[in-house]
Structure 1
Amino acid sequence: MIRYQLEASDVSTIRFGISPLSELGLGLRAFRAPERYPLQRPWLDGIAAVRPLLDDEVLLGLVDERRWVADFVNPRPESPLTSFDDELVALGRITRKRMHDDLERVHGTVPTVFTGRHDAVVARLQHALSDAWRLCFAPYWLRMRAVMQSDITHRGRIAAHEGVGAVLRGLSDSVRFDGRNLDVRLSSPIARDRPVHGEGVTLVPSIFVVRASTPIDDDLPPTIMYPARGQGAMWSTTSHPDQSAVRDLLGSTRAGLLQALGEPASSTDLAMRFGVSTSAVNQHLRVLERSGMLNRTRYGRAVLYYRSDLGQALTRVT
């Protein structure tokens, strides 16, 4: 358990934030232990096709079997408009000592993938995180962020009517607030006291937190990551579409391409599979991408296309 000790002035500086990089970092827990995140199964199924394109050695090296995540990929958001690109640039300035200290708190040692020349390690880390964001999070971010933003709005109304104390007590069943002490029950049995001293406490909703979580390093700014409400309906769709209607809407060729792109493929691969020219396939793929049904990524010299969230829904993949 960690106890954040708040003075009266600290209560007034409690704020909310959303961090794209932190959500990616917490999402690595679902990579490591998917069975612990049943509500995110549709998302995990949706990104299964692109998982082989990721640098799993780096990504899974950031989280251990307890689902502890290195603090440097769980930054405290500095503003409501924090962007992933800005956070990734800031991460590029991490020192070797900070990186190794954070990893040792998680693993007890530094995984081999994070040893070696520091600038090369940081560059590979940034590349791995960028790919994970682009392939697994960016296509779904509007939906994820909407759930988190709705949670913040809901708790803002509670604060206005019942006070900040009611908000803190309602974050999770593992969070307690007695008017001064803000206790967060964690998996670690070690009890720690952490005076806030005017730093403020940032509350960060997440779809990858089951109870509540805080930085492993007590010297970091006080932050509580808690489960966002409303996740149960996040991946739901109103109904499965009539596939004949989808073919009527898109045409048989585009509907067939959409159906075939459950796994990433290039236009050359698809042209051979469908027995048409590469230029014709490219034309169809560009239309499907502009309409939001496909995403694309570069893999080596090839451009690979795969279904987006919308494309998944239209092909009954959930």
Structure 2
Amino acid sequence: MLSELAFSADDLALTRFAISPMWEVVTSFRLLAMDSAHPVHRTWIDQVRPRVAAARLDSGHLAELIPASRYLPDFLTPPPDEPAPTLDTELAAIRATPADQVLADLDVLGGTGPLGRALRADPEAVLVRVAEEIEVYWGLALAPYWAKIRVVLDADVFHRARQVAERGAGHLFNDLHSTVSWDDNTLRLVRRHCGIRRETTGSGLLLVPSVFADGMLTWSRSPEPPQLAYPARGTGTLWEHRPVAHIEAIARVLGRSRSVILAELEAPASTTELARRTGISAAGVSQHLTALRDAGMVSAHRAGHSVLYARTTIAESLLGATA
């Protein structure tokens, strides 16, 4: 299928970027549902899939709403009104989805399972439960990694904005993906499951980079601008092991134990795991994590009966600056 999205001068003027937690939720959950191993995200999948299964999310509401292929309900990815909305903001928009939009999406999805029937009967109440499940999934699968993911997404947006500034919007569109091309004021997308055209969308275009998208994904509902989620640049390096250079220099500022703990948090870990890997007592690790968290360098995320600690963007910047 070939989709063509015509652009006027006003449409180009209203084209913008946004980073969306919910786009990462739907694309990452779909990735977990696939049986085949993924060459880029294997590390993340191996860490996250057991947590998701233990929480029974692989057979919950999201499993029914996000199939391994085919259509993704539009109400799960509401158009961001700002460049980088929080998950809470997007969940509020999901809970406020009008009933007729939910039913229209279910008709396209073919939602005839238990959740589909419940949504048709009482959309408002069921959307609250869907949002609660998304919050659980976020805490298990994405929140501990969000600092790393945001680095890649922010870098992509910066690169694309610079492309527009230096070479124009046409170059930006032609560089997005092999299935996208720009010619004669028209954006063309090939091999799309769902068509998209200007007559059925609002003005402008919302471009959303995603580290988990394996191709181009579209969202179209008038009068909102169409959304185009695309694979972010740099995703291939997201889970690469990166030894911390100049650890001695960091240790002189933070202390050796805290520096070692930060280095070990390349992947999120619990207090017990950190104690085992570093040789520091569990009590000592806990004290150091409290200090690092107070300094904004570590965040804590509940995963079942344990708590996972992860580096924040501040820590990632510090460690990256020493590489």
Please report the TM-score for the alignment, with normalisation by the length of structure 2. 0.74
Provide the alpha-carbon RMSD of the alignment. Answer: 3.7
Q: Which residue of 2 aligns with 1:84?
A: 87
Against the structure 1 CA distance between its residues 30 and 281, is the aligned structure 2 distance closer, same or farther, given a 3 Å change threshold? same
Q: Which residue of 2 aligns with 1:24?
A: 25
- Once residues 130 and 230 of structure 2 are traced to their aligned partners in structure 1, the CA distance between those partners, rounded to angstroms, is 26
Is 68-77 or 205-214 further displaced after alignment? 68-77
Against the structure 1 CA distance between its residues 290 and 91, is the aligned structure 2 distance closer, same or farther, given a 3 Å change threshold? farther
- Following superposition, the deviation at residue 87 of structure 1 comes to 0.9
Q: 1:59 aligns with which of 62, 65, 68?
A: 62
- Following superposition, the deviation at residue 68 of structure 1 comes to 3.0
Contact 2:201 2:221 in 1 (8 A): no
Pair 1:139 & 2:147 matched: no
- Following superposition, the deviation at residue 119 of structure 1 comes to 3.8
Please report the TM-score for the alignment, with normalisation by the length of structure 1. 0.75
Q: What amino acid maps onto 1:8 in structure 2? A: A
Unaligned runs of 5+ in 2: 246-255, 273-280, 313-323
Against the structure 1 CA distance between its residues 38 and 216, is the aligned structure 2 distance closer, same or farther, given a 3 Å change threshold? farther
Q: Which residue of 2 aligns with 1:231?
A: 235
Contact 1:165 1:179 in 2 (8 A): no
Is 159-168 or 67-76 further displaced after alignment? 67-76
| SS of equivalent to 1:214 | strand
| 1:37-84 per-position Cα deviation (integer Å, ceiling 9, x unaligned) | 421111112223421225331111122242532111122221113111
Q: What amino acid maps onto 2:147 in structure 1? A: L
Q: What amino acid maps onto 1:154 in structure 2? A: H
Q: Which residue of 2 aligns with 1:154?
A: 159
Q: 1:71 aligns with which of 66, 71, 74?
A: 74
Q: Which residue of 2 aligns with 1:297?
A: 302
Q: Which residue of 2 aligns with 1:212?
A: 216
Against the structure 1 CA distance between its residues 162 and 281, is the aligned structure 2 distance closer, same or farther, given a 3 Å change threshold? closer
| SS of equivalent to 1:195 | helix
Contact 1:30 1:36 in 2 (8 A): no
| SS of equivalent to 2:152 | helix
Against the structure 1 CA distance between its residues 298 and 150, is the aligned structure 2 distance closer, same or farther, given a 3 Å change threshold? closer
- Following superposition, the deviation at residue 128 of structure 1 comes to 0.4
Q: What amino acid maps onto 2:166 in structure 1? A: H
Against the structure 1 CA distance between its residues 183 and 219, is the aligned structure 2 distance closer, same or farther, given a 3 Å change threshold? farther
- Following superposition, the deviation at residue 263 of structure 1 comes to 9.3
Pair 1:4 & 2:5 matched: yes
Against the structure 1 CA distance between its residues 305 and 236, is the aligned structure 2 distance closer, same or farther, given a 3 Å change threshold? same
Pair 1:183 & 2:149 matched: no
- Once residues 128 and 287 of structure 2 are traced to their aligned partners in structure 1, the CA distance between those partners, rounded to angstroms, is 31
Contact 1:2 1:183 in 2 (8 A): yes
Q: Which residue of 2 aligns with 1:244?
A: none
Q: Which residue of 2 aligns with 1:273?
A: none
Unaligned runs of 5+ in 1: 242-248, 268-279, 311-318
* Identity in percent: 25
- Once residues 133 and 187 of structure 1 are traced to their aligned partners in structure 2, the CA distance between those partners, rounded to angstroms, is 28
Against the structure 1 CA distance between its residues 296 and 238, is the aligned structure 2 distance closer, same or farther, given a 3 Å change threshold? closer
- Once residues 155 and 190 of structure 2 are traced to their aligned partners in structure 1, the CA distance between those partners, rounded to angstroms, is 25
| 1:235-288 per-position Cα deviation (integer Å, ceiling 9, x unaligned) | 1122499xxxxxxx659xx99xx99xx9989x9xxxxxxxxxxxx967754644
Q: Which residue of 2 aligns with 1:113?
A: 115
Against the structure 1 CA distance between its residues 164 and 240, is the aligned structure 2 distance closer, same or farther, given a 3 Å change threshold? closer
Aligned length: 285
- Once residues 11 and 294 of structure 1 are traced to their aligned partners in structure 2, the CA distance between those partners, rounded to angstroms, is 39
Against the structure 1 CA distance between its residues 294 and 165, is the aligned structure 2 distance closer, same or farther, given a 3 Å change threshold? closer
- Following superposition, the deviation at residue 308 of structure 1 comes to 4.2
- Following superposition, the deviation at residue 290 of structure 1 comes to 5.5
Against the structure 1 CA distance between its residues 287 and 82, is the aligned structure 2 distance closer, same or farther, given a 3 Å change threshold? same
- Once residues 197 and 61 of structure 1 are traced to their aligned partners in structure 2, the CA distance between those partners, rounded to angstroms, is 27
Q: Which residue of 2 aligns with 1:100?
A: 103
- Once residues 127 and 68 of structure 1 are traced to their aligned partners in structure 2, the CA distance between those partners, rounded to angstroms, is 22
- Once residues 298 and 192 of structure 1 are traced to their aligned partners in structure 2, the CA distance between those partners, rounded to angstroms, is 39
Against the structure 1 CA distance between its residues 16 and 92, is the aligned structure 2 distance closer, same or farther, given a 3 Å change threshold? same
- Once residues 9 and 218 of structure 2 are traced to their aligned partners in structure 1, the CA distance between those partners, rounded to angstroms, is 21
- Once residues 185 and 127 of structure 1 are traced to their aligned partners in structure 2, the CA distance between those partners, rounded to angstroms, is 36
Q: Which residue of 1 aligns with 2:275?
A: none
- Once residues 61 and 219 of structure 1 are traced to their aligned partners in structure 2, the CA distance between those partners, rounded to angstroms, is 27
Contact 2:174 2:182 in 1 (8 A): yes
- Following superposition, the deviation at residue 105 of structure 1 comes to 1.4
- Once residues 95 and 46 of structure 1 are traced to their aligned partners in structure 2, the CA distance between those partners, rounded to angstroms, is 36
| SS of equivalent to 1:305 | strand
- Once residues 211 and 35 of structure 2 are traced to their aligned partners in structure 1, the CA distance between those partners, rounded to angstroms, is 13
Contact 1:5 1:194 in 2 (8 A): yes
| SS of equivalent to 1:127 | helix
